[in-house]
Amino acid sequence: MTETEEGPEAPRPDRRMLEALICPQTHTVLSYDAERQELISKAAGLAFPIRGGIPVMLIDEARKLD
């Protein structure tokens, strides 16, 4: 397993923290994709990864949505 892959033992992010975060590009609410461990910004078309239970809110680290 590489450093960026999440295993079953990965810590879960705090739900209240996730609800408080907004998209750094559009300043809109994010949705949580538990299966992919990402925060989704539909407005920006980006998915921000959650690594080790910590959201990575950098636009350069976000995955573009199809």
Tens of pLDDT, residue by residue over 28-52, are 999 999 999 999 999 999 999 999 9
Q: Are 53 and 11 in contact (CB under 8 A)?
A: yes
Q: What is the pTM of this model?
A: 0.80
Would you say residue 1 lies in a domain? no
Which CATH number characterizes residue 55's domain? 2.20.25.10
- pLDDT averaged over every residue in the chain: 87
The number of domains in the chain is: 1
| Residue 15 vs residue 38, higher pLDDT | 38
Would you say residue 59 lies in a domain? yes
Residue 3: the pLDDT is: 47
Would you say residue 8 lies in a domain? no
Give the span between the Cα atoms of 57 and 48, in whole angstroms: 6
The parent domain of residue 28 ranges over 15-64
